[in-house]
């Protein structure tokens, strides 16, 4: 049995046969630079043999697919993605956040040390490998650990607060499904330095503001909780262990393991049986110290003052170990099982775990794919200008015009060849809003015919004022 999806297992053999049957072996070899003709020449009697081809044939002949759980961003999908990032970047700027870009792979210890040895990410989702120098490398499964590593490495723990925005790919070995991929993308924000609950409120307000700017705040609900401080957690842990131990029989094997090592993590289990037990589990509220309760009160007050609607959900814990005090999620019911679009909390211990001084911090991350799916409409493809020369003598003038329009900030294209009809067809195909037609007579007189491809209206415009005319038309 092939360990990957069964459907993809039979494909390589068939594809290899089709190509080998239809394309002359010498051509295939010419294209691929192959040296072993015997490997290609399958006997005709074997044509319907569905046994897998030898690996060297499969590898070379099968049309390559993207790895499972990854996807290409093209056309509308890419426009949605870019719109999410640009919108988030803009709003983060309003809140005084600067963008950082850290490596997409890090020393494995950056994650293994900090995310928690019982977290799903560390136990089963990390893409880790030894590189050619023998160092253990991990493709980042999340952004926060790398940002804290960068804070320490760049000596920035002495210049706090740091307000960091980031966007980029993350990698987790998960079972791919709608809204869950192996390479996915996140935007995220970290506010490093302040210990005050106002910082928690501000970073949540930033997240909410971004969702509002994307037009999807109404599709999501903010749920908040507190994980308390160390003393609150110790008391809560004891209560949880007592409760879950009494329901030991109903727990999944994974949660039984968590019971020993990290009982709070059971609250985050996705197992149906576990979830029933979790429904009646004790809350942290009665175990909070006076300080932790005051912190949570202040957060709620500040959020209300900032006009950010929220509800409390005592079941929220974060999937990673480094959180304390505030935990929150923006959830939606529009994405099926993958209902969390943005998640975060306070992580006062992480910078120290990374080798820096004790440094309070709070942040969140949001899945760009999930945000993109919530957008009502994809941003429209940009409509540009098609420059259309008619006749050879007009081509040089058309090329000068093309570059002048681009220098003026207008999106303009010119087909590489073709008569008027072909070039107009091409203009329509690329979704041009306007055609600038320059025939030999126009070139000689220094003018162009400007045609609105929507209405068909046409007017003559001097080339010298063309860019200004088109900018005015575009309302710029
Ligand atoms: P989940 O409970 O859905 O597995 P998580 O707790 O593992 O989420 P975080 O580590 O908090 O997720 O990541 C923050 C956000 O990143 C999530 O709310 C989600 O929007 C997104 N995200 C996480 N894992 C994936 C994935 N495999 N594919 C797509 N988006 C993801
Ligand atoms: Mg997860």
Distance of CA 409 to the CA centre of its chain: 29
Going across the sheet that includes 447-452, the strands are 412-413, 385-390, 434-439, 447-452, 458-462
Residues 304-317 have pLDDT tens digits of 999 999 999 998 88
Give mean pLDDT, residues 190-209.
98
The predicted pLDDT at position 331 comes to: 97
Looking at the fold, whether 80 and 205 belong to one and the same domain comes out as yes
Looking at the fold, whether 355 and 417 belong to one and the same domain comes out as no
- Across the chain, what does the average pLDDT equal? 88
The predicted pLDDT at position 8 comes to: 37
CB of residue 149 inside a 6 A radius of ligand 1: no
Region for residue 75 given its phi and psi (left: phi exceeds 0; alpha: psi -120 to 50; beta: otherwise): left
**Within-domain flag for 264:** no
By alpha-carbon position, which residue is closest to atom 23 of ligand 1?
367
- Dist CA 401 CA 94 (whole Å): 38
Q: Is the pLDDT of residue 303 over 50?
A: yes
Residues linked to residue 225 through DSSP beta bridges, in sequence order: 327
Looking at the fold, whether 370 and 392 belong to one and the same domain comes out as no
Q: What percentage of the chain reaches a pLDDT higher than 90?
A: 76
Region for residue 138 given its phi and psi (left: phi exceeds 0; alpha: psi -120 to 50; beta: otherwise): beta
414 CA to middle of ligand 2, Å? 47
Specify the range with the lowest mean pLDDT, choosing from 137-151, 314-328, 364-378, 393-407.
314-328
Specify the range with the lowest mean pLDDT, choosing from 34-38, 233-237, 457-461.
34-38
Q: Is the pLDDT of residue 34 over 70?
A: no
Q: Let me know the angle formed at the C-alpha of 145 by 373 and 229, rounded to the nearest 5 degrees.
A: 100
Looking at the fold, whether 314 and 369 belong to one and the same domain comes out as yes
201 CA to middle of ligand 1, Å? 22
pTM: 0.84
**Which two three-digit tokens encode residue 388?**
């259309």
**Within-domain flag for 298:** yes
Instruction: Identify the residue with better confidence: 321 or 369.
Output: 369
Selection from 322, 327, 320 nearest residue 343 by Cα: 327
184 CA to middle of ligand 1, Å? 9
Looking at the fold, whether 316 and 337 belong to one and the same domain comes out as yes
Looking at the fold, whether 48 and 83 belong to one and the same domain comes out as no
SS3 450: strand
The predicted pLDDT at position 319 comes to: 64
Domain that holds residue 167: 76-229+289-374
73 CA to middle of ligand 1, Å? 19
- The interaxial angle of helices 25-32 and 6-22, nearest 10 deg, is 110
Looking at the fold, whether 334 and 308 belong to one and the same domain comes out as yes
Looking at the fold, whether 357 and 392 belong to one and the same domain comes out as no
The predicted pLDDT at position 373 comes to: 96
**Within-domain flag for 293:** yes
Most confident region among 161-165, 336-340, 389-393 by mean pLDDT? 161-165
Q: Which-ligand-closest: CA of 319?
A: 1
Q: Which-ligand-closest: CA of 184?
A: 1
Q: What is the CATH number of the domain that holds 307?
A: 3.30.930.10
Looking at the fold, whether 315 and 449 belong to one and the same domain comes out as no
**Which two three-digit tokens encode residue 386?**
């098609």
Q: Which-ligand-closest: CA of 368?
A: 1
Residues 141-189 have pLDDT tens digits of 999 999 999 999 999 999 999 999 999 999 999 999 999 999 999 999 9
**122 pLDDT tier (thresholds 50, 70, 90):** confident
CB of residue 331 inside a 6 A radius of ligand 1: no
Looking at the fold, whether 142 and 210 belong to one and the same domain comes out as yes
CB of residue 125 inside a 6 A radius of ligand 1: no
**268 pLDDT tier (thresholds 50, 70, 90):** confident
CB of residue 71 inside a 6 A radius of ligand 1: no
């Amino acid at each position: 049995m092939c360990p990957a999806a069964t459907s993809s297992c039979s494909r390589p053999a068939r594809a290899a046969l089709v190509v080998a049957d239809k394309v002359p072996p010498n051509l295939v070899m010419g294209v691929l630079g192959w040296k072993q003709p015997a490997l290609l020449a399958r006997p005709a009697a074997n044509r319907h043999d569905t046994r897998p081809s030898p690996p060297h044939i499969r590898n070379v002949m099968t049309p390559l697919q993207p790895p499972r759980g990854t996807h290409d961003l093209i056309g509308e999908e890419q426009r949605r993605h870019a719109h999410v990032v640009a919108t988030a970047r803009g709003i983060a700027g309003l809140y005084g956040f600067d963008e950082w870009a850290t490596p997409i792979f890090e020393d494995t210890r950056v994650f293994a040390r900090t995310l928690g040895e019982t977290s799903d990410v560390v136990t089963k989702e990390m893409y880790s490998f030894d590189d050619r120098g023998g160092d253990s490398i991990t493709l980042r499964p999340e952004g926060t650990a790398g940002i804290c590593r960068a804070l320490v490495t760049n000596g920035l723990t002495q210049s706090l607060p740091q307000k960091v925005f980031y966007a980029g790919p993350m990698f987790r070995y998960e079972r791919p499904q709608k809204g869950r991929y192996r390479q996915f993308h996140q935007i995220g924000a970290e506010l490093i330095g302040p210990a005050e609950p106002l910082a928690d409120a501000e970073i949540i307000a930033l997240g909410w503001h971004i969702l509002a700017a994307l037009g999807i705040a109404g599709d999501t609900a903010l749920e908040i909780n507190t994980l308390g401080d160390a003393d609150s957690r110790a008391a809560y842990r004891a209560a949880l262990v007592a409760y879950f131990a009494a329901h030991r029989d109903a727990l999944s094997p994974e949660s039984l393991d968590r019971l020993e090592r990290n009982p709070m993590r059971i609250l985050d289990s996705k197992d149906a049986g576990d979830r029933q037990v979790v429904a009646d589990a004790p809350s942290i509220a009665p175990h909070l110290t006076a300080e932790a309760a005051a912190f949570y009160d202040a957060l709620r007050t500040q959020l209300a003052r900032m006009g950010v609607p929220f509800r409390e959900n005592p079941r929220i814990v974060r999937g990673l170990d480094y959180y304390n005090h505030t935990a929150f999620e923006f959830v939606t019911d529009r994405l099926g099982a993958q209902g969390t679009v943005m998640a975060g909390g306070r992580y006062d211990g992480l910078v120290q775990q990374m080798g820096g001084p004790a440094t309070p911090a709070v942040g969140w991350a949001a899945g760009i794919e999930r945000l993109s799916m919530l957008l009502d409409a994809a941003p429209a493809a940009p409509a540009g200008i098609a420059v259309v020369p008619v006749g050879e003598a007009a081509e040089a003038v058309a090329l000068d015009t093309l570059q002048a329009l681009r220098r003026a900030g207008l999106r303009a294209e010119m087909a590489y060849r073709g008569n008027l009809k072909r070039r107009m067809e091409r203009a329509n195909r690329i979704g041009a809003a306007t055609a600038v037609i320059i025939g030999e007579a126009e070139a000689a007189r220094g003018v162009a015919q400007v045609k609105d491809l929507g209405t068909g209206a046409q007017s003559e415009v001097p080339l010298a004022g063309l860019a200004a005319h088109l900018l005015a038309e575009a309302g710029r």
